[in-house]
Copies of this chain bind each other. A is one copy, B any other.
């Protein structure tokens, strides 16, 4: 499998055109049929593959950071008569199971990100369906706040996956139809089994779209809706746009390095050793952590939003979010056999808390501050839905505080050294973690709760005690007592305990671990997001894997061949 790179920029787009006109941007999908990420299929009818979606993700991100003036985004198609035909079927049919699942996860995250922009960034997305939107095409529209469909007696919306392909709509469609758009469940059932789709007034009456517009009035109405959405969107004020320059990245066979984040891949143990460097640190090398003793060096720039605008993409919290984001995507897609991610940090906790404080103080007044916090939120959510075991190691010299403490709280387990490594640096400061304002609200999980609240689900006293400890550095004994770390072994037991945890993980069934983690990470309430990643994704995984879809005579493989799928008719 060729290496997949997620870094791109508008100059490199093959499938999308982004145009900005005042407060309204238009994002037009115009897929290059010959531009598939992998050989073997043509991207006909504006169908998409991972490569098309990587560009979409990039565009949505750039709209947030590079276009502070944009308050509405009209998502439309650059082709005649077709908005988007959904995920490319030949690509799906030819893909192995893990590729299909990972592809759906990423596309889901991008659509959730679009909803996050409408809800929290003051950039409202409007779907302008100038032609038929089927399958993933309609699901893309469902992620927008308003759906316009051209009324030309032929354009429809549809979810033909079940009748044509024997799978589910894989990008949140079923959940959004009933839970977001409130289509009645029996009508939704009919709609999702009718491959021809539904258009015109019935599509409005059933709530599948918000309005249908005659072709003669199309441009006019789309412009009007764009302007209206922009007028009512609450984009925060702020200063100059922030250019997302190309992320500096060194990728070798066994490592990935960015200015502040690094990952060393140990294939024998199926582990990625990931280290995140705090503000002002040079790039950490995971193998050298104990030797880094000069953390806490002075910062070049004072902590202020002025400095943030001046530093732009190099501003520490933004830079780290981008690096982590890219790393998660890279490892998830390219390193499927690296089953455990070990998470470390290195640096000065108080400086991490300083950045958090600056961003949160400006969250309600400055678009950039808000965007950076929202980016952290989305990146941490990406970690939550990552099908890898996450183990956080908290050692002397680390800076698990505030936003970086979220990495430990996202982990399935967390080990914190009690005392110091006697043979490395007996005079080191013992590790300490700090709960900060970033842990108390602004970075909720998909279930709507903070990671702290999820951790202390049903334990109000435990949660209150952890919250009360905010601001104080907590060494291992106290952190363990407060329930903030799983285990706190001392120097004598550390290596053995950590080694066993990591080795055990590699010995278990990877599938069962995925299922276990997907259940334990999302205790508590459910939301559309957790339904999409928990319920819908799990069903789709199962369906994708069954011969009725993916076997030689399955519906996915039979599609377009003229043969009918041959189903095992047992209902399970």
Contact = CB atoms under 8 A, between A and B. Distances in A.
Contacts of A524: 179
Contacts of A174: 516, 519-520
A223 interface: no
Contacts of A567: 509-510
Contacts of A184: 455-456, 459, 483
B412 A510 contact: no
A173 B403 CA distance: 32
Interface string A522-562: 11111000110011101111110110110000010000000
B572 A193 contact: no
A247 interface: no
A97 interface: yes
A174 B519 CA distance: 7
A60 interface: no
Interface string A504-521: 111011111111111111
A458 B175 CA distance: 13
Interface in A92-138: 97-98, 101-102
A3 interface: no
Contact of A509 (B336, B414, B519, B555): B555
A4 to B, nearest CB: 15
Contacts of A101: 572
A387 interface: yes
Q: Which one of A161, A167, A189, A509 has the greatest number of beta carbons of chain B within 10 Å?
A: A509
Given A455-B184, A555-B509, A571 B179 contact: no
A523 B179 contact: yes
A401 B561 CA distance: 48
A548 to B, nearest CB: 5
Contact of A166 (B97, B454, B504, B508): B508
B526 A571 contact: no
A7 interface: no
A181 to B, nearest CB: 8
Interface string A391-424: 0000000000000000000011110000000000
A192 interface: yes
A526 B531 contact: yes
A441 interface: no
A188 to B, nearest CB: 5
A186 interface: yes
Nearest to A336: B570
Nearest to A454: B185
Nearest to A534: B535
B413 A543 contact: no
A511 B546 contact: yes
A526 B523 contact: no
A511 B548 contact: yes
B337 A515 contact: no
B509 A535 contact: no
Copies of this chain per assembly? 2
B520 A190 contact: no
B543 A546 contact: no
A346 to B, nearest CB: 22
Given A511-B572, A535-B535, A542-B541, A457 B548 contact: no
Nearest to A542: B542
Contacts of A458: 179, 182
A572 B97 contact: yes
A178 B518 CA distance: 12
B508 A388 contact: no
A270 interface: yes
A508 B163 contact: yes
Contacts of A486: 186-187, 189-190
B572 A516 contact: no
Contacts of A414: 186
B515 A168 contact: yes
Among the interface residues A97, A178, A179, A387, which one has the most CB atoms of the partner chain B within 10 A? A178
B549 A270 contact: no
A166 B514 CA distance: 11
Nearest to A335: B571
A166 B510 CA distance: 8
A515 B167 CA distance: 8
Contacts of A545: 542, 545-546
A162 interface: yes
Interface string A317-358: 000000000000000000011110000000000000000000
A565 interface: yes
Given A541-B572, A571-B387, A571-B388, A412 B186 contact: yes
Given A509-B549, A510-B568, 13 more contacts: A162-B512, A166-B509, A185-B412, A185-B457, A185-B523, A189-B520, A510-B571, A510-B572, A511-B572, A519-B535, A534-B535, A538-B539, A542-B542
22 contacts: A98-B570, A101-B572, A174-B519, A174-B520, A178-B519, A178-B523, A182-B458, A185-B520, A190-B486, A270-B569, A337-B570, A338-B571, A339-B571, A510-B570, A511-B543, A514-B571, A515-B542, A519-B531, A519-B536, A531-B534, A542-B542, A542-B545
